[in-house]
Structure 1
Amino acid sequence: MAPLADQAGYWGERTSTVDWCEKNYVESYYVAEMWNTVSNLVMMLQALYGIYDVFRNDFEKKFIIAYTFLFVVGMGSWAFHMTLLYEMQLFDELPMVWGTCFSLYLLCDIKSPKSLSKPGLVAGLLLSISFTLIYLYNPLPVLHNTAFAILAISSYVLQICMIRQTRCRLCATLYALSFACYLFGFALWNVDKFYCDNLTSFRESIPGWISPTTQLHAWWHCFAGHGTYLSVLLTSFRESIPGWISPTTQLHAWWHCFAGHAFAILAISSYVLQICMIRQTRCRLCATLYALSFACYLFGFALWNVDKFYCDNLTEPFLFVFTYAVITMSCAQL
């Protein structure tokens, strides 16, 4: 449900079947929902980094397609929230289903990573095309939400089966973080959708500079985008790294976990999380978010440096444990 007193803007009257709990054209004449729009940068930047990661680590090239779907979803969501036009809504929602179908195909094809399974690929294409035709004929939001939920849950169930077979500790950690991001983001999505009036009243009672941090649908973009990124990363690590012990020593993967969450925290509210502003306003929430983000990046950056400059030492278990202990104690002293 959209809040009352929306303003007119550049893109004209809304034609989309849904409107979210952010007042339209308040921040800009050219952008209907500013914070729901710019939050998609988190999704698109992580998708681009994922594509870069595929080339750098020589992962299977089919993962480029998965990250490309994530980028297209971010673009579509940007266009949808910027215009609130029905055509842009389709640009947002249809790639979500297509991308999730492709993720299911990757999980089903995991036993033969060197080749694309034609039957599985054809089945995914038929499923995506069938949904597209049905949704174009009957564009009910509940239809899209149900289809996407079924596909997303199926993907997470298949990942559980994969982790139980491989006993990959890093994969289990990535899975837990990915699932937690999605679950928390989905909770925020529901609050934004079903308690819009209460949320709008709360925004009007707080200072204007902190109001953007209450745009829960924008946070959904951040957490869902990061959860999807971690999910694809999990699948790519499963196919590319043998064994169930060695993945836990891939410190650059842990960098994704820590730094990724820090980036998501800062994405929308970075302009309010400056040191000077915190000193002036004495905002405890801002100070807490800043401290959490800085701690995540500091610890992740330490692991990144060890992974980069002491790669040979990581092949010896004793030196790896020693290095990890030194990093942990150093961070504890901070």
Structure 2
Amino acid sequence: MSSMLSWPYPSGALSGYWRPVTSTINWCEEDYYATPYSAELINSLTNLWFIYLAQRGIRNCLSQRHDRIFLWAFSSYLMIGVGSFIFHSTLKYPMQLLDELSMIYTTCILFFATFEHGLEGRNRVLLGVLVGGIAIFVTGYYHYLGDPVFHQNVFAFLTAVVFFRSLWKMEKTLRPSRRMSVQGVSAAEQARRDRRDGDILRAMWKMIPFGLLSVASGFLVWNLDNIYCDDLRRWRRAVGLPWGILLEGHGWWHLLTGVAEYFNIVWSIWLRHCLDGRQDEVELRWPTMLSSMPEVVRKSSHAKIKQR
């Protein structure tokens, strides 16, 4: 179907620059229909969202002097976007590993960040060895198996561990009814701290459902894209370009999970400041829920920004 508002998909695939396909996964987007230089154009381009959010997070970590572990987390998050861009452009197996293993490494970094707080010396080193061992084992065993389901299960398990551990630490640290009272603090000061932490807790509980909804929506679309691939390809060709792009489910997976992982790292940064007792030094800057992305800033920096 062609009209002034759309044009038909090409009748056949172009000769792909990166052929042959060597990856163990080939997604629902048709290969090389738009350009010979990108096997899955939309699946590649949607990773620019990952890259944008990653550089935003890296700049925030540097300018606001957050703990270095989160700079590593955002750097690994950047590699997810870069790796996925290259993978979907080429559909080569080594690039598939770069894409998928970067997801594991980012989660391992957050795993370390979640459990290392309060550890010192030998215990901290042992945790690092454990997390490094997990990353090495998953890398080797996944390469040996070549089964994407193994990668998906490990990623889901590690993510769940990090999430529920962070949730427990958040509630224990910030909810007044669940934390130990501080000796030598006046009643007025304690009341102020309770109000402050209550406000932080409510803000975090706004972030958490937003991130969960993003990843759940992405997971749903990802599965629908796999299950109904033949129908989706037919519908795309029926509506033509550019509207068919909106039916590229794996591209939506990139956009939605990019948001979810960004929220997860920002939440971890804010929680770390709270665990260190620095609630009065930082705040969350999130002007609007639907048209902006949150970031943790030093209150002095925030004041300077407002004065510009």
| Corresponding residue for residue 272 of structure 2 | 239
Q: Take 1:205 and 1:116, find their aligned partners in 2: how far apart are those partners?
A: 60
| Corresponding residue for residue 308 of structure 1 | 305
Q: Which amino acid aligns with 1:77?
A: S
TM-score normalised by L of structure 2: 0.78
Greater helix share, structure number: 1
In 2 relative to 1, CA 154–109 (structure 1 residues): closer, same or farther, beyond 3 Å?
Answer: same
Q: Take 1:54 and 1:244, find their aligned partners in 2: how far apart are those partners?
A: 16
Deviating more after overlay: 117-126 vs 204-213: 204-213
In 2 relative to 1, CA 161–244 (structure 1 residues): closer, same or farther, beyond 3 Å?
Answer: farther
* 2:232 counterpart (199, 211, 219): 199
Q: Take 1:31 and 1:114, find their aligned partners in 2: how far apart are those partners?
A: 48
Map 1:162-311 → 2, pairs under 5 A: 162-165=169-172, 166-167=174-175, 168-241=201-274, 250=283, 252=285, 254-255=286-287, 257-260=289-292, 308-309=305-306
CA contact (8 A) 2:222 2:250 kept: yes
Map 1:104-115 → 2, pairs under 5 A: 104-111=111-118
Q: Take 2:158 and 2:12, find their aligned partners in 1: how far apart are those partners?
A: 36
Deviating more after overlay: 68-77 vs 189-198: 189-198
SS state of the match for residue 182, structure 1?
helix
Cα deviations across residues 72-106 of structure 1 (Å, max 9, x unaligned)? 01111001000001111111111111111111111
Q: Which has the greater radius of gyration?
A: 2
Q: Take 2:279 and 2:129, find their aligned partners in 1: how far apart are those partners?
A: 35
* 1:129 counterpart (118, 133, 136): 136
| Corresponding residue for residue 50 of structure 1 | 57
Deviating more after overlay: 22-31 vs 156-165: 156-165
| Corresponding residue for residue 103 of structure 2 | 96
RMSD: 2.9
Q: Which amino acid aligns with 1:160?
A: L
Q: Take 1:55 and 1:112, find their aligned partners in 2: how far apart are those partners?
A: 24
CA contact (8 A) 1:113 1:239 kept: no
In 2 relative to 1, CA 104–36 (structure 1 residues): closer, same or farther, beyond 3 Å?
Answer: same
Higher relative contact order (CA 8 A, sep 6+): 2
| Corresponding residue for residue 63 of structure 1 | 70
Q: Take 1:213 and 1:138, find their aligned partners in 2: how far apart are those partners?
A: 34
Question: Which sections of structure 1, spanning at least 5 residues, go unmatched?
Answer: 263-303, 312-334
| Corresponding residue for residue 39 of structure 1 | 46
Q: Which amino acid aligns with 2:64?
A: N
In 2 relative to 1, CA 240–258 (structure 1 residues): closer, same or farther, beyond 3 Å?
Answer: farther
State percent identity of aligned pairs. Answer: 26
Question: Which sections of structure 2, spanning at least 5 residues, go unmatched?
Answer: 1-10, 176-200, 295-300
In 2 relative to 1, CA 23–177 (structure 1 residues): closer, same or farther, beyond 3 Å?
Answer: same
SS state of the match for residue 250, structure 1?
strand
TM-score normalised by L of structure 1: 0.72
CA contact (8 A) 2:221 2:252 kept: yes
Q: Take 1:115 and 1:52, find their aligned partners in 2: how far apart are those partners?
A: 32
CA contact (8 A) 1:163 1:172 kept: no
